[in-house]
Every structure is written in C-alpha cells, then in structure tokens.
A and B are shown apart, each in its own frame.
Chain A
Amino acid sequence: GAGVSQSPSNKVTEKGKDVELRCDPISGHTALYWYRQSLGQGLEFLIYFQGNSAPDKSGLPSDRFSAERTGGSVSTLTIQRTQQEDSAVYLCASSSEVIGTSGNTIYFGEGSWLTVV
C-alpha cells in the first residue's frame, strides 16, 4: 500500500481481555517496528523485526506482550490480560532496511488507540 496501515484505529477493551493489533507495512519494507506512545512518556520502543525474526525484544514491557511477523509482511502485536496501564497509542513503523543503514528513514502508521476500561 501507499503507507503503513494499522488496525483497529481505536479499540476499547475490558481489563483482563486479550487484544490483537495489526500492522501492514509499506510493500517491500523488510524492517518493522512497534512503539508505544503514552501521555507524558513519549515514544517507547517495544520490538523490531528484520524479516520475520525479532533481533530486539528488549522494549516489551512484560511477558503479557508478544509480537509476530509472518511472510516478512504483516505483524501482529498481542497484549494478553490487558491492564489499564496498557492504554496508549501503539505505533507501527517500517523501513526499507534496518535503520543502521545510513540515510534510511522509517515511516509511521497512524496508530492504534487502545483504551482498557
């Protein structure tokens, strides 16, 4: 597609339920990133994928968070047993190569706004 696409754009869920957030990167982009944007916390790195593998999962806040990527394209971020502190905007981004390549740019989606009540 023309840009990074995320769904759902808004999700309200009850505490304790599981949620899945989807990211469809720009076609041909091999690197995919997940960030969390919270009020007052800025952008927190969660995880990134190069192809289908995740070299760096260091940002995942707890074992309730997991992510996968299949076919080198679509990625799903899953939050199990959601808590109120999980409420945030979850941003996905992609780039044509891993960021370490000089001059590379990452492109962001519009985000999935998650509210846990």
Chain B
Amino acid sequence: AQRVTQPEKLLSVFKGAPVELKCNYSYSGSPELFWYVQYSRQRLQLLLRHISRESIKGFTADLNKGETSFHLKKPFAQEEDSAMYYCALRRDDKIIFGKGTRLHILP
C-alpha cells in the first residue's frame, strides 16, 4: 500500500538550530512528493515539491529513493517556522498525506 509516514508528532527546536522533519514513503511507482504547511489560524498550503528542487523560506527537501525518504530541512530555525507540517505523496489523481509533525521553535 502506498503511504506516507511522519514518525514525529512534535518536534521542538531552538531558534537558530537546524531543523529536520522526517518523512518516509512507500510507493511502487515513481513518487511525486510534497511538503504542505499549516500556520496557526491559516489554511493548509503547499510549501514545496520535489520535482521543483526549490528552496522555500529556507527549507529544502531531497528525495532519497534508496532510503524512500523526503526529509524537510532548514539550517537555521526561525520563530515564524512554528507550524504543522505534512508530507504528502501523489497517488494517481489524489494527494495522500502523512499524519503531520508539529514544529515548535523555542526562543
């Protein structure tokens, strides 16, 4: 079965420290992966997708097919990064989401 696993429900990181939000997937084909973010009192929105190989708000994510991972990283955390982060996988015509990781940036 195709699924997305985010092992951490909550991640607390000090401001200025590096951030890594873990995501592992299982998919039989060629995966298309995304990270979505939901800030407090805002709607869920796309942060980045692996096919774009982009850096958004200092975040990057590299698809590692050998480890079936798509971890989200940022070298220096900022307080405004506190939010709920969802890793997601495109399966056929829909997006399948992980259970999410709440990132809490400590001052």
Contact = CB atoms under 8 A, between A and B. Distances in A.
Asked if A and B are interacting partners, one says yes
Given A103-B51, A110-B43, A42 B94 contact: no
Contacts of B99: 40-42
Nearest to B87: A42
Interface residues of B, number: 19
A71 interface: no
A73 to B, nearest CB: 19
Contact of B93 (A99, A102, A110): A99
Contacts, number: 54
Nearest to B9: A40
Contact of B43 (A41, A99, A109): A109
A34 to B, nearest CB: 10
A48 interface: yes
B43 A43 contact: no
B45 A108 contact: yes
Contacts of B100: 42-43
A111 B43 contact: yes
Contacts of A111: 43
A14 B21 CA distance: 39
B92 interface: yes
Nearest to A41: B99
Contacts of B93: 31, 48, 50, 55-56, 98-100
Contact of A43 (B9, B32, B90, B97): B97
Interface in A98-117: 98-100, 102-103, 105-111
Interface string B73-94: 0000000000000100010111
Interface of B: 6, 9, 32, 43-46, 51, 86, 90, 92-100
Interface of A: 3-4, 31, 33, 35, 40-45, 48, 50, 55-56, 91, 93, 98-100, 102-103, 105-111
Given A98-B93, A110-B43, 5 more contacts: A42-B99, A43-B97, A43-B100, A100-B90, A109-B43
Give me the 4 closest cross-chain CB pairs, A-B, nearest first: A42-B99, A43-B97, A108-B44, A98-B93
